[in-house]
Amino acid sequence: MDFDLDNYINWDKIAKDYSLESGDISLHDTLQLEGIFYKFIETNKPKKMTTKEIKNQVFDMLHNLTYQKLEGNFKSDIESEQQDEQCELMGDILTELAKQPIEFHLNAYDNGMIDAEECVQAIDEVVNGVTEAP
Protein backbone atom coordinates (compact mmCIF):
# COMPACT_ATOMS: atom_id res chain seq x y z
CA MET A 1 0.00 0.00 0.00
CA ASP A 2 1.38 3.40 -0.97
CA PHE A 3 1.03 5.64 2.07
CA ASP A 4 2.37 9.17 2.47
CA LEU A 5 2.20 10.50 6.03
CA ASP A 6 2.64 14.06 4.76
CA ASN A 7 -0.84 13.85 3.23
CA TYR A 8 -2.32 13.32 6.69
CA ILE A 9 0.06 15.04 9.11
CA ASN A 10 1.07 18.67 8.82
CA TRP A 11 4.54 18.53 10.35
CA ASP A 12 5.18 22.25 9.83
CA LYS A 13 2.01 23.19 11.72
CA ILE A 14 2.98 20.90 14.60
CA ALA A 15 6.47 22.49 14.65
CA LYS A 16 4.96 25.98 14.68
CA ASP A 17 2.30 25.19 17.32
CA TYR A 18 4.90 23.71 19.69
CA SER A 19 7.70 26.17 18.82
CA LEU A 20 9.94 23.42 17.45
CA GLU A 21 13.02 24.13 15.38
CA SER A 22 11.81 21.86 12.58
CA GLY A 23 9.09 19.45 11.60
CA ASP A 24 11.57 16.71 10.72
CA ILE A 25 11.13 13.17 11.95
CA SER A 26 13.62 10.30 11.74
CA LEU A 27 13.25 7.57 9.14
CA HIS A 28 12.82 5.00 11.90
CA ASP A 29 9.94 6.98 13.49
CA THR A 30 8.38 7.61 10.06
CA LEU A 31 8.34 3.87 9.33
CA GLN A 32 6.83 3.14 12.75
CA LEU A 33 4.07 5.71 12.19
CA GLU A 34 3.38 4.37 8.71
CA GLY A 35 3.08 0.89 10.22
CA ILE A 36 0.58 2.17 12.78
CA PHE A 37 -1.48 3.94 10.12
CA TYR A 38 -1.35 0.89 7.83
CA LYS A 39 -2.56 -1.38 10.66
CA PHE A 40 -5.32 1.12 11.50
CA ILE A 41 -6.49 1.21 7.89
CA GLU A 42 -6.38 -2.56 7.40
CA THR A 43 -8.15 -3.21 10.71
CA ASN A 44 -10.98 -0.83 9.90
CA LYS A 45 -11.54 -1.64 6.22
CA PRO A 46 -14.96 -3.12 5.56
CA LYS A 47 -14.62 -6.79 4.87
CA LYS A 48 -16.55 -8.23 1.96
CA MET A 49 -18.12 -11.48 3.02
CA THR A 50 -18.09 -14.42 0.67
CA THR A 51 -21.40 -15.90 -0.44
CA LYS A 52 -20.61 -18.97 1.67
CA GLU A 53 -20.07 -16.82 4.79
CA ILE A 54 -23.32 -14.96 4.13
CA LYS A 55 -25.20 -18.24 3.67
CA ASN A 56 -23.82 -19.67 6.90
CA GLN A 57 -24.71 -16.52 8.80
CA VAL A 58 -28.24 -16.43 7.34
CA PHE A 59 -28.83 -20.11 8.14
CA ASP A 60 -27.57 -19.67 11.70
CA MET A 61 -29.88 -16.68 12.21
CA LEU A 62 -32.78 -18.57 10.64
CA HIS A 63 -32.22 -21.58 12.88
CA ASN A 64 -32.04 -19.40 16.01
CA LEU A 65 -35.15 -17.45 15.01
CA THR A 66 -37.08 -20.64 14.28
CA TYR A 67 -35.99 -22.15 17.59
CA GLN A 68 -37.12 -19.05 19.50
CA LYS A 69 -40.51 -19.00 17.77
CA LEU A 70 -41.07 -22.71 18.40
CA GLU A 71 -39.97 -22.48 22.01
CA GLY A 72 -42.75 -19.98 22.70
CA ASN A 73 -45.39 -22.26 21.13
CA PHE A 74 -44.83 -25.31 23.33
CA LYS A 75 -47.04 -25.86 26.35
CA SER A 76 -45.42 -25.40 29.74
CA ASP A 77 -46.31 -28.98 30.83
CA ILE A 78 -43.67 -30.45 28.51
CA GLU A 79 -40.41 -31.09 30.32
CA SER A 80 -37.78 -28.46 29.64
CA GLU A 81 -35.19 -30.90 28.22
CA GLN A 82 -37.75 -32.54 25.94
CA GLN A 83 -38.99 -29.11 24.85
CA ASP A 84 -35.45 -28.04 23.97
CA GLU A 85 -34.87 -31.21 21.93
CA GLN A 86 -38.15 -30.78 20.03
CA CYS A 87 -37.45 -27.11 19.32
CA GLU A 88 -33.95 -27.95 18.13
CA LEU A 89 -35.23 -30.71 15.82
CA MET A 90 -37.99 -28.52 14.37
CA GLY A 91 -35.51 -25.68 13.94
CA ASP A 92 -33.22 -28.01 11.98
CA ILE A 93 -36.08 -29.20 9.77
CA LEU A 94 -37.42 -25.72 9.02
CA THR A 95 -33.92 -24.39 8.36
CA GLU A 96 -33.28 -27.22 5.86
CA LEU A 97 -36.58 -26.44 4.10
CA ALA A 98 -35.63 -22.78 3.74
CA LYS A 99 -32.05 -23.36 2.56
CA GLN A 100 -32.77 -23.93 -1.12
CA PRO A 101 -34.85 -20.78 -1.74
CA ILE A 102 -32.43 -18.68 0.33
CA GLU A 103 -29.44 -20.06 -1.58
CA PHE A 104 -31.25 -19.25 -4.84
CA HIS A 105 -31.65 -15.59 -3.84
CA LEU A 106 -28.08 -15.31 -2.51
CA ASN A 107 -26.73 -16.76 -5.76
CA ALA A 108 -28.88 -14.35 -7.76
CA TYR A 109 -27.38 -11.49 -5.75
CA ASP A 110 -23.86 -12.89 -6.13
CA ASN A 111 -24.34 -13.12 -9.92
CA GLY A 112 -25.65 -9.53 -10.12
CA MET A 113 -29.20 -10.54 -11.08
CA ILE A 114 -30.72 -8.74 -8.08
CA ASP A 115 -29.44 -5.99 -5.81
CA ALA A 116 -28.89 -6.23 -2.05
CA GLU A 117 -32.28 -4.74 -1.15
CA GLU A 118 -34.12 -7.23 -3.37
CA CYS A 119 -32.09 -10.09 -1.89
CA VAL A 120 -32.91 -9.06 1.68
CA GLN A 121 -36.61 -8.71 0.82
CA ALA A 122 -36.68 -12.12 -0.86
CA ILE A 123 -35.00 -13.82 2.11
CA ASP A 124 -37.35 -12.04 4.50
CA GLU A 125 -40.30 -13.42 2.52
CA VAL A 126 -38.84 -16.94 2.70
CA VAL A 127 -38.35 -16.68 6.46
CA ASN A 128 -41.47 -14.75 7.47
CA GLY A 129 -43.84 -15.44 4.60
CA VAL A 130 -45.25 -12.96 2.13
CA THR A 131 -47.29 -10.14 3.60
CA GLU A 132 -49.84 -8.86 1.14
CA ALA A 133 -51.37 -5.40 1.34
CA PRO A 134 -55.07 -5.31 2.26
Query: What is the count of structural domains for the chain?
Result: 2
How many angstroms separate the CA atoms of 81 and 72, rounded?
Answer: 14
Specify if 13 maps to a domain. Answer: yes
In this structure, are residues 64 and 90 in contact, taking their beta carbons and an 8 Å threshold?
Answer: no
Shared domain for 123 and 65, answered yes or no, is yes
Domain that holds residue 13: 5-44
119 inside domain: yes
**What is the radius of gyration, based on Cα positions, of the chain?**
27
Q: What is the pTM for the complete model shown?
A: 0.42
Does residue 71 share a domain with residue 28?
no
In terms of Cα–Cα distance, which of 34, 23, 49 is closest to 1?
A: 34
In the structure, what pLDDT confidence band is assigned to residue 17 with cuts at 50, 70 and 90? Answer: very high
Residues 59 and 112 in one domain: yes
Q: What is the pLDDT of residues 44-86, one digit of tens each?
A: 887 777 777 777 777 777 767 766 665 665 545 455 666 667 6
Looking at the fold, whether 23 and 68 belong to one and the same domain comes out as no
- Is 116 a member of any domain? yes
Report DSSP letters for 7-43, one per residue. GT--HHHHHHHTT-S-----HHHHHHHHHHHHHHHHH
In this structure, the answer to whether residues 21 and 85 fall within a common structural domain is: no
pLDDT digit string, tens, across residues 111-123: 889 887 888 888 8
